[in-house]
Amino acid sequence: MIRFDQVSKRYPGGKDALSRVSFELADGEIAFLTGHSGAGKSTLMKLVIVMERASQGQVFVNGMNVNRVRSGQIPAIRRNIGVVFQNHQLLFDRTVFDNVSLPLLIAGFQHREIGRRVRAALSKVGLADKERVLPITLSGGEQQRVGIARAVVNRPALLLADEPTGNLDPALSQEIMNLFDQFNQVGVSVLIATHDLDLVARMGKRQIVLHDGRLQEGV
């Protein structure tokens, strides 16, 4: 699903955020991406969705070398990837329904199909009764779950989550992780960046560890 081949990323005027990183995430696999703050986790995720381009090496997503794609092809790639990014949160002037339906509107689904899928996604994350409310009235954990519903509503083959439990207490964090695990069990490939090592240990899944932009693959 994802393959990095000797990938380096250097931001303009900075040191290497990633150096010669190679790893593979198989179809239907789930893995945690860990490492200290500034290790390069977010950068790695941005390379996958082509928000940034590698300075060296190749990034393959679903067999496609995304380093080479024209900017016009990027939207099509992103429609097949669900993202839960910390700094790209919900739109607070839109209802939960409107937030979750956005990827479907973009993909050009029809009205009735949109309603069906949004309700399905919301009920999967346990928010079936909240579609009409504004996100601001929800708790942190609920907001995060709306974000997850938005990420999976288009039934992507790959799910990326960057620090999805950042501000949540351990119980809620565990719930969120279980949710990702459930999506993985129905065949979605999942990559989760987190620094919550206790939680990762409890989940008992594969870990990909970054340190100063270099890979130290563990379990």
Ligand X SMILES: Nc1ncnc2c1ncn2[C@@H]1O[C@H](COP(=O)(O)OP(=O)(O)O)[C@@H](O)[C@H]1O
Binder to another protein among 3, 20, 119, 155 (CB under 8 A)? 155
DSSP states of 26-37: -TT-EEEEE-ST
The Cα 86–Cα 88 span in angstroms is 6
For Mg ion, the binding residue among 42, 144, 165, 207 (CB under 5 A) is 42
Q: What's the CA gap between 83 and 219, in Å, rounded?
A: 25
Q: Which of 110, 129, 136, 171 binds another protein (CB under 8 A)?
A: 110
For the CB of residue 115, give the shortest distance to another protein in the complex, in Å.
Answer: 13
What whole-number distance in Å separates Cα of residue 217 and Cα of residue 172? 27
Which of Mg ion, ligand X, another protein, none has residue 129 at its interface (CB below 5 to 8 Å by kind)? Answer: none
Binding segment (CB under 6 A) for ligand X, from list 9-17, 76-84, 111-119, 173-181: 9-17
Mask for 74-113, x = binds ligand X (CB under 6 A): ----------------------------------------
Q: Residue from 38, 166, 170, 218 that binds ligand X (CB under 6 A)?
A: 38
What single DSSP character describes residue 81?
E
Q: Provide the H-helix boundaries in 49-110.
A: 74-78, 96-107
User: Strands of 16-25's sheet, edge to edge?
Assistant: 16-25, 2-10, 56-61, 64-65
| Residue 80's binding partner out of Mg ion, another protein, ligand X, none, with CB under 5 to 8 Å set by partner kind | another protein
Angle (deg, nearest 10), helices 170-185 and 140-152? 10
Of residues 54-73, which lie at the interface with ligand X (CB under 6 A)? none
* Site for Mg ion, rule CB under 5 A: 42
